Structure 1
C-alpha cells in the first residue's frame, strides 16, 4: 500500500468560497477524491492549512503558515511516504507578501529541496514529488476577500502559475500538474472552489499519480 502526502493551503483543506460557509464535506475534498480515484491502492493524507505559503511568514495568523518551516515536521510524522503532492502559491501573491508567480515557483523548488534533504539526512530514498499549480484567481463578489488579495495584480500573477511551476518542475526533475486544466475558482470569492471543482483536482491527478507510483 502506497502512502501519499497532499501538502497545501485552503484549497486542500476544502474551504468554502461562500463567506461563512462550512468546510467542504470530507468526500468533496480533493485528497479524498484522489484516494477514491486510485481504487484504494494508496492511502492519501490531507495536510491543508488556510493561508499557508511556500516559504513566507504570515504574522496575521496564530497558526504557522510558513510551508518551508513546517514541512520537515510533517515529513517526519507521516513517513514513510511514496509521494508528496504540493499545491501552494495562491497566498504567496497577496500584496503583503508582494510575490509573483515566479517567486512562488521558487518557493516550490525550495520545498522540493527540503523534502530531498530530509530523506538524504536519514539515509532514505526520497518520495516522488508532484508540483501542482493552483487554478488562477478570478474577480470575485466578496469585496473583503478581493481586497485581501489585491485582485487585479493577483489575477495577473495567478495566470502565470502553470508556466512558472512547469519550469521549476523540469529544473528539479519532478512531476507537474496544472490544476487549472480541471478546476475553476468560484465567483463567490474568486479564490476558492465549489465542491465539484475541488473533487475534480483529485480526479484529474489520478492518472498521473497512477503512472508515477505504478499503480
Structure 2
C-alpha cells in the first residue's frame, strides 16, 4: 500500500465558511481521494487553518509557517510515497507576504525540503505533487475582504507560478481552480461540492504518479 501526505491549510483541513465549522470527514478532499483510491493507498490529511508556505504569522496561536512544520511531519509519517502540497492562499494576506511570487518561492523551498529531508531510515525521497489552490473570489464579508486585500488578483497568478516550479523541480502539477471555485461567503474557502471536486480531480494524476 502506498502512503500519501496531503500538506495544506484550511482548504485541506476542511473549513466550512457557511457553518463556521468543519466539513464532514467524507466531504474533505483528502478523504475523497482516499475513497477513490480504495485499498491501494493510505491518504494522510495534514491541514492547518492559516498555514503559509514559508512565512510567519505572529497573530496566530499555532505555528503557521509550513517550512518549520514540514520536516517533523515528513519524519512522523515516513516512509512516504507521495507528498501533495496545496498552500499559498494565506501567503497572499498583505500582513504575511501579499504577493503570489512570494508563494512561488515558498513552494519551491518546500519541494526542495521534501527532496532533501533527513528521513529516519534510508529510502528514496517521496514524489511531490504541487496543487495550486482555487483563486480567491470577491466577497461581501468585510473581515475576509480586508484580510485578503489584493488577493483576488494575486491568487490568479498562483497556477502559472506553481506550474513553473513543477517544471523546474520535476514534479507533477494540478490546478485545483480548473475543478473548484471558492465560496463567496468569505471568498477563500470551499463548499462541500467544491472540496469534493478537488479530491476527485486529483485521482488520475495520483494514480499516474504512483503507478496505481
Give the TM bin, normalised by the shorter chain. Answer: over 0.9
Task: Show the counterpart of 2:160.
Answer: 163
Summarize the alignment of residues 85-104 of structure 1 with structure 2, pairs less than 5 Å apart: 85-104=84-103
Task: Show the counterpart of 1:193.
Answer: 190
Task: Show the counterpart of 1:127.
Answer: 126
Task: Show the counterpart of 1:212.
Answer: 209
Task: Show the counterpart of 1:3.
Answer: 3
Distance 1:88 1:119 in 2: 22
Larger displacement relative to structure 2 (113-122 or 197-206): 113-122
Give the deviation of 1:137 after TM superposition.
Answer: 0.3
- The TM-score with structure 1 as length reference comes to 0.95
1:7–1:87 contact (8 Å) kept in structure 2: yes
Larger displacement relative to structure 2 (202-211 or 98-107): 98-107
- CA shift digits 1:174-213 (9 cap, x unpaired): 1100000010000111000000100110110000000000
Larger displacement relative to structure 2 (92-101 or 78-87): 92-101
1:27–1:33 contact (8 Å) kept in structure 2: yes
Give the deviation of 1:121 after TM superposition.
Answer: 8.4
Distance 1:155 1:170 in 2: 25
Distance 1:67 1:26 in 2: 23
Give the deviation of 1:163 after TM superposition.
Answer: 0.4
Larger displacement relative to structure 2 (139-148 or 85-94): 139-148
- CA shift digits 1:99-134 (9 cap, x unpaired): 311220110110011111114785421001000000
- The TM-score with structure 2 as length reference comes to 0.97
Alignment size in residue pairs: 212
4+ runs deviating over 3 angstroms: 119-123
The gaps in structure 2 that reach 5 residues or longer are: none
Summarize the alignment of residues 1-215 of structure 1 with structure 2, pairs less than 5 Å apart: 1-18=1-18, 21-119=20-118, 123-150=122-149, 153-215=150-212
1:17–1:192 contact (8 Å) kept in structure 2: yes
1:17–1:190 contact (8 Å) kept in structure 2: no
Change (3 A) 1:113 1:122: farther
